[in-house]
Structure 1
Amino acid sequence: MDQILPLLFATLYAWLDFSVSIVYQSLCKNSYPTRDKFFKTNGTDAAGLQIQLFFYGTGSTLVTIELCKDIPRYICMAYICVKLPVYLIRKIRLFYKNKHSLSSLFHSSDKMTREEKQLISYMKYSVEALYVRNLFIPAKYRPSSRALLSRIVPTKIYEFRDDFRFSTRIICLYSSVLMFLFVISIDLIVTYLPVLEQIRATIKEWFDFIFLKNAFPVPNLTAPFICAVLLAAAAICLQLAIQLVIIRRNLLQVYRGDDTEVPHRKTLQNVSTSTGNVHFAGISFNEK
């Protein structure tokens, strides 16, 4: 994937796949049962679907729900469709820029690997090189981050650093968690909003039976339910952000030889290994 030709074919494939996905989605071939299947099973496998269709209808609201469920997938596909041509253009420019300056070096060092040749081409501009240069500069004299969010978010909340970058493993893990959180929140709201009125009626009947009253006030559950789901999602996002800050602090400690907060090698159970790996995705448990 680090050569021009594979990047070209990958870009063409990503664009074609994205276009076909949009066309296929526009045909509305979803998982709803057909009319023949509905009457064949006497509607037993679509009871929940009937409630949702009665509540949301079959118009624009249903289309909006289907589009919301596909937002994470289309965001990922759009990112790939944009990022691959960027890599391709960057690779072409780098190839023509270093064709003459590094030709003698490459010919004299045939045993160099592809990664070593790439590292030589942009090593002085890398995040790692910037980190090493900052080691010799006092903290108060180091240049501030050039990121746009660093000018908005106060330093006491989160300090952006241009000389640190999370690994691909961490980015993929936490991006997957955020997308899963988005999908599960949408599913919860879509699934339970139509039945909240039934739940409210059941609660009212129980309270009327217990307190022997016929007018026990039970408020509408729609707004509290949506607020509860959104607050839970916001709390999880805040926890993920705090964990990212902790991972960065632990990695910077490891870089300077301080491994006091890193779990040492020991025998772990399968469940604790999986949960601990999510909690501290910055380092493997097989490392010290």
Structure 2
Amino acid sequence: MNINKSNKKNIKLIDFVSPREKNKYSESDNKNFKLNTNSDSMASVAYLGPIGTFSHFAAVKIFGDQSLFVPQQNIFDIFNAVETGHVMYGVVPVENSIEGSINLTLDLLKDSDLTIYGEKTVNISHNLIGNGKIADIKEVFSHPQVLGQCRNWLRKNCPEAHLIETSSSSAAVRRVKKTKTQAAIGTFLSAKMEKIPVIEENIQDFKTNKTRFFILSKEKIKPGKNNKTSLVFLCHDKPGALVEVLKIFKKHEINLTKIESRPSKRKDWEYYFYIDLNGHEEEPEIKKALEKLKQVTIYVKILGSYPVN
């Protein structure tokens, strides 16, 4: 990875929003979102590129527009950029309120030595971008998660269009620059950079569409006022194994905010369970619960304890 490929021009939050929404933002907005890092130096941040993606938007919200942002081609590369020390932090999508979890992010978290340093939930607004009219569109390009979040709108307004997946929303916008029969779904910044009109704003199926992002780091962050802990574990293959785990958290009055399973990939029909819980791993009751959890499971890994978004 070449860190010189980072964006040389500072991109601000206001660059991502439509002209009608710019009055909601000010030049000082980035300060409200900036992560409280342990270093006084400028943060270097890897994100899912190219410039103008929703991951880029999230990274700017978290770190402020004066940080060094380094676009990556895929989520693997984001992990690698942080693990090898090319950047200090990585920003990865982990979950969408409509389409669910990003499975690759969960799998890589389990196998990586990186820790979750923080989280940020971002409101996502999708825009149809192209040179033609809606009636002329034969193909629509975007990231698979984005297409899924606009599925009903596309079915209603572009019923004959073929939906084609791309590596990112920004890459999709680049593909429709010279045609009137193709369109992309992406950010206002992507449309502005490629000089392509926005045909229709806010085409996501649900106006409450949000994506949760994790900040990755080699170092743990200091506990905040309110914290969350993410972990993964593997149960024994026996009746009631998961119930036994859940009873531990109930006994210690620990609130679980999320639980889901992923195939272990070790053998058929074996699953890892991912859990988010309220509190920090160093809190006495949580420490006791985690010790008991290790006694009744095959494998436990703390993915991170971090301040609540």
Q: TM-score range by the shorter chain?
A: under 0.3
| Structure with the bigger percentage of helix | 1
Q: Which has the larger radius of gyration?
A: 1
Relative contact order, higher structure (CA 8 A, sep 6+): 2
| Structure with the bigger percentage of strand | 2
Structure 2 length-normalised TM: 0.21
Structure 1 length-normalised TM: 0.22
